[in-house]
Chains A and B, each alone.
Chain A
Amino acid sequence: MNIQQISVFLENKPGRLAHVAEVLKNNSINIRALTIADTSDFGILRMIVSNPEQGYEVLKKAGFTVKVNTILAVEIDDREGLFYDLMNLCDKNGLNVEYTYSFVEQSSNKAILFLRIENSDKAIEVFSKNGYKLLTANEAKKI
């Protein structure tokens, strides 16, 4: 139920993001969703890509500090209030969300929420029990 996310350490200086994008482009790797967390000195670029294993290898080869880690991807309907429902569920069950970002599928009217949760095993259990659909690694590659 865990899916793979690539994180890249980036210094806050011009051209770094372009370089990451260039490496992925040259290897025909598609970025499905991304987010950047930044401080005054550096940032962490987090991405869901079409081929995380290859993405990791090519970025590493290009000299980036890269890590692959796992997060959860929850599919919900793209409607108001549903994000609240999910967050409320986390709150009720003592699940601490470290960060989250989302991706909207225009064709199916669905949204996918990527979540990094402290206790991910418990989260999987809580989400499944409450009828949420968690994407598998294979499904995530195809979004």
Chain B
Amino acid sequence: MIWNKEFETMSRKQLTLLQSKRLSSLVRKIYATNPFYKSKMDAAGIKPSRIKDIKDIAALPFITKDEMRTVYPYGLLACPVDNIVEVHTSSGTTGKPVVDAYTKKDIDLWGEVMARTLSMGDTTKSDRVQNAYGYGLFTGGLGVHYGTRKIGAMVIPISGGNTNRQLQIMQDFGSTVLTCTPSYSLYMAEAAKEMGIDFKKLPLKTGLFGAEPWSENMRKEIEETLHIKAIDIYGLTEIIGPGVAAECERQNMLHVFEDHFFPEIIDPKTQEPLPDGEKGELVFTTITKEGTPLIRYRTRDITYLSHEKCGCGRTHVRMHRILGRTDDMLIIRGVNVFPSQIEEVLLRMDGIEPHYQLIVERKGNLDCLEVQVEVNESVFSDEIRGLEVREKKIEHALHEALLISAKVKLVEPKTIARSEGKAKRIIDKRVI
């Protein structure tokens, strides 16, 4: 079902006109209201009057996550703080968090794009949406919440975790739509099997899954075990949260809601735009946001675009599911983890060498992170207890920093490879 026929099936010509109009007014507004953006544009020698067409976007400077951090918390606002009604942030564990500040209109927009997303999974007013994304500063929970409210379906704001309760509520309330990370859905399926729950007998029909990479094989497994249609959704805090792009019922690449979020693919090295079908870094410009609009935000996600017509009737450009990252970010249980965060934690602990290795595995259907740390003589105690206390201490510090639990394993000194150019810090054994 198409939620907003007018915009989602708009002709390319009209869409281009709309994007051009929206981009030029955004650039004018941001230049007048945001000193950070003004100085970026001045440095690049670009006056707002030069941006008339969506094609002119290539002249504008990029913005990176690191730059966003330098103006934390309110430096990216393009409106008075008083107009902000809600804020969300990234986990903020690589330093300062990245802030998304929403005006009333931005929240309406979020509801709109999430209503489109949910509709792609055939969610209607008569559905019951079990929302197992986390509620809080994380955007997943409330994004789905606002979209469900917009459609007028019933939202079950159960948030993440507590699998037994999830399954109980699912049976009692007759949930028809499930939203969570794809790996968590399989974890639930496993628990359900142990509890003797038969998904064929439940009214659950669709799952909208995102926040971590997954594959066609995983989709097949989810669809077979949960007896549902599994839809891939994409979003990121910096842009709006979930609701940036989603698969339609054809399940063939994700439509980008480009009347609001204009995508480009660039070569991450030369920063030159790449044509359809060529893999590169995904870049977004939020052409309608009021609170914290972004111009040419480099997502570090790698994918490609296709303007080919989709059988569903929607005209919006499609992106392939994310194929990788330009940095070393890992997504573990839906949470973004950078090796540098782990390094920072280890450097704060005394007696621990800054040599470490991360081993990520999928055990059952859950991602497990093991951090191997070299012990040195100053911490080595003759007693097991002393070493175990140290392991627990590091585990606790990592949990605080990463927001997910990691197992720490002490290893002998100099057993972790180093000095062979780039150290092999990450061993990702997951087969997704």
Name A's B-contacting residues (CB within 8 A).
5, 7, 9-11, 16, 37, 39, 41-42, 44, 46, 60, 63-67, 69, 98, 116
Contacts and interface: CB of A to CB of B under 8 A. Distances in A.
Contact of A67 (B377, B414, B415): B377
A9 B384 CA distance: 10
User: Considering residues A37, A63, A65, A69, which has the most beta carbons from chain B within 10 angstroms of its beta carbon?
Assistant: A65
* 5 interchain residue pairs of minimum CB distance: A7-B382, A65-B380, A69-B382, A41-B409, A9-B380
User: Considering residues B377, B382, B412, which has the most beta carbons from chain A within 10 angstroms of its beta carbon?
Assistant: B382
Interface string B344-380: 0000000000000000000000000000000111001
A112 to B, nearest CB: 19
Contacts of B84: none
A69 B409 CA distance: 24
Contacts of B387: 9, 39, 42, 44
A65 B377 CA distance: 6
A57 B382 CA distance: 17
A66 B382 CA distance: 9
A41 B388 CA distance: 10
Contact of B415 (A11, A39, A41, A66): A11
If over half of B's interface residues share one DSSP class (helix, strand or loop), that class is named, otherwise mixed; here it is loop
If over half of A's interface residues share one DSSP class (helix, strand or loop), that class is named, otherwise mixed; here it is strand
Given A64-B412, A65-B412, A37 B384 contact: yes
Contact of B412 (A7, A9, A46, A60): A9
B350 to A, nearest CB: 16
Contacts, number: 48
Nearest to A42: B410
Contacts of A37: 384
Given A37-B384, A39-B384, A67-B382, A10 B409 contact: no
Contacts of B377: 60, 65-67
Given A9-B375, A11-B415, A98 B388 contact: no
Interface residues of B, number: 17
B413 interface: yes
B384 A10 contact: no
Interface in B249-275: none
B411 interface: yes
B382 A46 contact: yes
B383 interface: yes
A30 to B, nearest CB: 21
B414 A63 contact: yes
A64 B377 CA distance: 9
B380 A67 contact: yes
Contacts of B388: 39
A16 B384 CA distance: 18
A9 B378 CA distance: 12
30 contacts: A5-B382, A7-B380, A9-B375, A9-B380, A9-B387, A9-B410, A9-B412, A10-B412, A11-B411, A39-B387, A39-B388, A41-B409, A41-B410, A42-B387, A42-B409, A42-B411, A44-B387, A60-B377, A63-B412, A63-B413, A65-B375, A65-B376, A65-B377, A65-B380, A65-B413, A67-B377, A67-B380, A67-B381, A98-B383, A116-B382
Contacts of A5: 382
Contacts of B380: 7, 9, 65-67
